[in-house]
């Protein structure tokens, strides 16, 4: 496993889909049979065009009273009321679907979930066809990496990107996901760089920077005052 996780590493690869013309009952049966809360809707070519969730189906329950049904027919422009009158997946679905590529990073997936206020993303390939589903809980898998493995990943990152000559100048230990950096480097800017690189490794909860340095090269010299 690389120290940079992607959506492909954590997604559920088995995707249950519905067709645009699938009936309300067909979609309900899919959700129940596979114990999922939403399914992507695909067009005849297999490309994702929307998503139907349990919430979409429950609109039927919300507006099932006779006087509410009449309001559905009069004002189909309201999304919830329109879905209450829906009989097919195409009418039920929320479109366009919120999708992401399998090579996207976990932070990118988290930002997309937050921005669109959804609990899952449909993962699609370059052809627009679904290859997986990634949920909020899937993104937590990086934080389940054992501490010893995480320490190795942090050290690899430091050795690969850092600018100091001695690969053993910095030592890494990880406890409960917190990376502890010890050792000595020549310049303060390198210590700052090491902490930043360690924090960028997926699964690191925090960084305890205990590095010491010989020279503080981050302090700016005073500007010459005009005479």
Extents of the domains making up the chain: 7-142, 145-215
Walk along the chain (227 residues) in steps of 10 and give the mean pLDDT of each run: 82 94 95 93 96 89 58 54 84 93 94 92 96 93 92 90 78 95 93 93 94 87 58
Q: Shortest CA distance to 22 belongs to which of 44, 55, 47? A: 44
**Tens of pLDDT, residues 105-139:** 999 999 999 999 999 999 999 999 999 999 999 99
Cα 130 from Cα 132, distance rounded (Å)? 6
CATH of 145-215, one of 3.90.550.10, 3.30.1340.30, 3.40.50.2020, 3.30.379.10: 3.30.1340.30
Amino acid 167: pLDDT: 73
Q: What are phi and psi of 83, to 5 degrees?
A: -70, -30
| Torsion (CA) 13, 14, 20, 23 in degrees, nearest 10 | -150
Amino acid 75: pLDDT: 46
Q: How far is CA 150 from CA 104, 177, 220, in A?
A: 21, 8, 35
Amino acid 81: pLDDT: 73
Amino acid 24: pLDDT: 94
Say what the pTM is. 0.71
Amino acid 74: pLDDT: 46
The CATH code of domain 7-142 reads 3.10.580.10
End-to-end C-alpha distance for the chain, whole angstroms: 60
Q: Shortest CA distance to 153 belongs to which of 200, 116, 92, 120? A: 200
Amino acid 4: pLDDT: 81
């Amino acid at each position: 496993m690389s120290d940079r996780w992607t959506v492909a590493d954590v997604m559920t690869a088995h995707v249950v889909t519905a067709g645009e013309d699938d009936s309300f009952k067909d979609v309900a049966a899919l959700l129940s049979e596979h114990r999922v809360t939403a399914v992507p809707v695909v067009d005849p070519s297999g490309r994702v065009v929307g998503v139907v969730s349990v919430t979409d189906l429950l609109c039927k329950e919300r507006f099932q009273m006779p006087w509410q049904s009449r309001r559905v027919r009069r004002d189909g422009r309201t999304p919830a009321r329109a879905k209450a009158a829906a009989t097919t997946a195409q009418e039920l679905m929320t479109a366009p679907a919120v999708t992401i590529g399998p090579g996207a990073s976990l932070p990118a997936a988290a930002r997309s979930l937050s921005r669109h206020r959804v609990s899952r993303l449909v993962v699609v390939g370059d052809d627009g066809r679904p290859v997986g589903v990634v949920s909020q809980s899937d993104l937590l898998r990086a934080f389940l990496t054992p501490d010893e493995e995480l320490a190795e990943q942090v050290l690899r990152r430091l050795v690969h990107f850092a600018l100091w000559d001695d690969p053993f100048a910095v030592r890494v230990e990880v406890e409960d996901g917190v990376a502890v950096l010890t050792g000595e480097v020549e310049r303060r800017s390198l210590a700052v760089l090491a902490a930043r690189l360690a924090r960028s490794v997926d699964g690191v909860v925090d960084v305890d920077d205990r590095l010491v340095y010989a020279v503080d090269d981050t302090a700016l010299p005073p500007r010459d005052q005009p005479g």
